[in-house]
Amino acid sequence: MPLGIVFPGQGAQSVGMLADIIEVHPKVGRTLDEAGEAMSFDLRSAVLQGPAEVLNRTDITQPALLAASVAIWRQLQAAGAAPVAMAGHSLGEYSALVAAGSLPFADAVRLVNLRGQLMQRAVPLGEGAMAAILGLDDDDIAAACAGIEGVVTPANFNAPGQVVIAGSRAAVEGAAEACKAVGAKRAVMLDVSVPSHCALMASISDEFAQKLADTPLQMPAVAVVQNVDGATSKDVDSLRAKLVAQLASPVRWTDCVAALLQAGVTQVVECGPGNVLSGLIKRIDRSLKSQATGTLAGFEAAIELLQQEPGA
């Protein structure tokens, strides 16, 4: 049963996430403490106690989700997890790189903390927006966006019939209405603080690239499928370039899952809070089994699954 590991991005966070797991498996909480030390912030308190307005700040959300995901990964790895490939959705790509031995954990925490700061700075609060478009083909969504004045483009190709668009608020609202007019089942404005993965993020690319250039990075020991093209990188320069491009380019999650299937993956474990990616995987290919780990029951089911594997 070839294993793939996937890591969630922003939107998976909630105050109290992992609390039931930490109560039974205290080692999980130590990774939150380690991350807090790296960024000189009480991250464990923000994760477990909130308040939500602090945890939902993108500069806190990003290191919090990375730490939560890596915390669970460490326990899965100790239980014998030996994936043939990994992928992460947006921010989750950094969790995947940490898990694959490409990016040191403390450096990753500081890097995504800065990434969040830069993303928030790129667009004043309230001026950007994102919307989920349901039940419409990708090409029709792209065409609807192209017909709107202003910045709005597909940002997340999450699954067939589920695409998120992003850009300036007025343009996103106009594109959402245009999508409904040509047959979308629903167009839902999302509660986000920044319009990720669109041209409005291009202004921060250079500053982020400079920070990334100073961050230790090596080729991953396990294949990591990257968001911008649904493919792995052949060298570190390509790896870095794709991480920078990811800021202003759409997340091609459907292609990432297809790449996991191409690598022979038949069982996926979603490593981190929530179960969003497991739901998307079912929409993409129902033959691909998925196990979420965001609750104690799910976490322990994943551990049990791994311990049934030969050699685990």
| Encoded tokens for 236 | 């570190």
CA distance from start to end of the chain: 12
- Cα 187 from Cα 27, distance rounded (Å): 41
DSSP 8-state secondary structure symbol assigned to residue 204:
G
Catalytic residues: 90, 197
Closest Cα to residue 117, out of 44, 228, 194? 194
Residues 136 and 185: beta-carbon distance below 8 Å: yes
Length of the chain as a residue count: 312
Task: Say how far apart CA 228 and CA 251 lie, in whole Å.
Answer: 6
- β 186-189/267-270 pair status: unpaired
